[in-house]
Structure 1
Amino acid sequence: MKIAFTSDDGLTVNAHFGQSLQFAIYKMTRSGAVELLEIRRIPTDSGQDEHGKIAARIAAVEDCALVFLMQIGASAAARVTRKKIMPVKVPGGSSIEGQLRRLQEMLRGTPPLWLAKIFNEEEALEEGEKQNGRAGR
């Protein structure tokens, strides 16, 4: 599962979704292994209206299952969830490492249904891709 964090410093969740200039993108496996994949920067375009700013940020995280953020407007939250990305609001200044540890702890026990569902859907998708790859050979 890929996870995005609104972060202007790459260490903490410290940005509003609609104003974040970059996203730290991590990958977490069901076993809890974590890897920083990349920092995705949002191009600054002063000509964009609010709708365009939100669209650019959604495009930057569209392959992620979760996005951790300080705040998100109601309209943006609706657009994010329609893309099947779950926004997770955390206190400003929360460490990314700390949020990843919380997710790892959830996975060690009995994960909440929403988290188990994300992993189950991703595993089913990966299995389907593997079978299609075998069938196409």
Structure 2
Amino acid sequence: MLVAFATGSQTCIDAHFGLAPAFAIYDVTAEAIVSKGMVYCPQEFASEADKEDKVETRMQILHGCTVAYCTSIGGPAAARLVQSGIHPLKVPEGTVIEDELKRLQTLLAGSPPPWLRKRLQQEKRLKED
């Protein structure tokens, strides 16, 4: 599954979802962790309307991700993410990405929470079709 981390440093989760300069993307399974690189968010917007919908821009950037880690996210933005199939997770600022990847991998190898198990089953069905 694809996992995104809101980051400016590329090593820690250190950004608010709507203000993140970039997201580090990883493909995580119980057996492997593979970096898919960094995806940078636009900081300059053509118009005020574009700036207002930076959540939509980030949702498009993160299309295909199952989880998005950040230090903070507003309620409406979190609801929009969930509706688009991305589960937001808030963690303390400075959380090391590598530590979260290992924790997530251990979770996948064991007993994932119900929301994650359901999402993994959906992804498996899509791959089989």
Alpha-carbon distance, 1:32 to partner: 3.5
Q: Provide the secondary structure at the position in 1 that maps to 2:55.
A: helix
Q: Provide the secondary structure at the position in 2 that maps to 1:45.
A: coil
Alpha-carbon distance, 1:81 to partner: 0.8
TM-score (norm 2): 0.92
Letter aligned with residue 57 of structure 1: R
Alpha-carbon distance, 1:75 to partner: 1.1
Confirm or deny that 1:36 pairs with 2:35: yes
Letter aligned with residue 122 of structure 1: E
Q: Provide the secondary structure at the position in 2 that maps to 1:91.
A: coil
CA distance in 2, matches of 1:84, 1:42: 19
The equivalent residue for 1:6 is: 6
Alignment map for 1:77-88 (pairs within 5 Å): 77-88=78-89
The equivalent residue for 1:65 is: 66
Matched residues, number: 127
Letter aligned with residue 87 of structure 1: P
Letter aligned with residue 15 of structure 1: A
CA distance in 1, matches of 2:43, 2:99: 29
Cα distance change, pair 17–127 in 1 and its aligned pair in 2 (3 A): same
The equivalent residue for 1:74 is: 75
Runs of 4+ residues deviating >2 angstroms: 46-51
Q: Provide the secondary structure at the position in 1 that maps to 2:65.
A: coil
The equivalent residue for 2:16 is: 16
Alpha-carbon distance, 1:21 to partner: 0.9
Gaps of 5+ in 1: 129-137
**Stretch moving more, 18-27 or 102-111:** 102-111
Could you say which structure has the larger radius of gyration? 1
Letter aligned with residue 20 of structure 1: A
Letter aligned with residue 69 of structure 1: C
Gaps of 5+ in 2: none
Q: Provide the secondary structure at the position in 2 that maps to 1:65.
A: strand
The equivalent residue for 1:26 is: 26
CA distance in 1, matches of 2:80, 2:54: 12
Letter aligned with residue 98 of structure 1: D
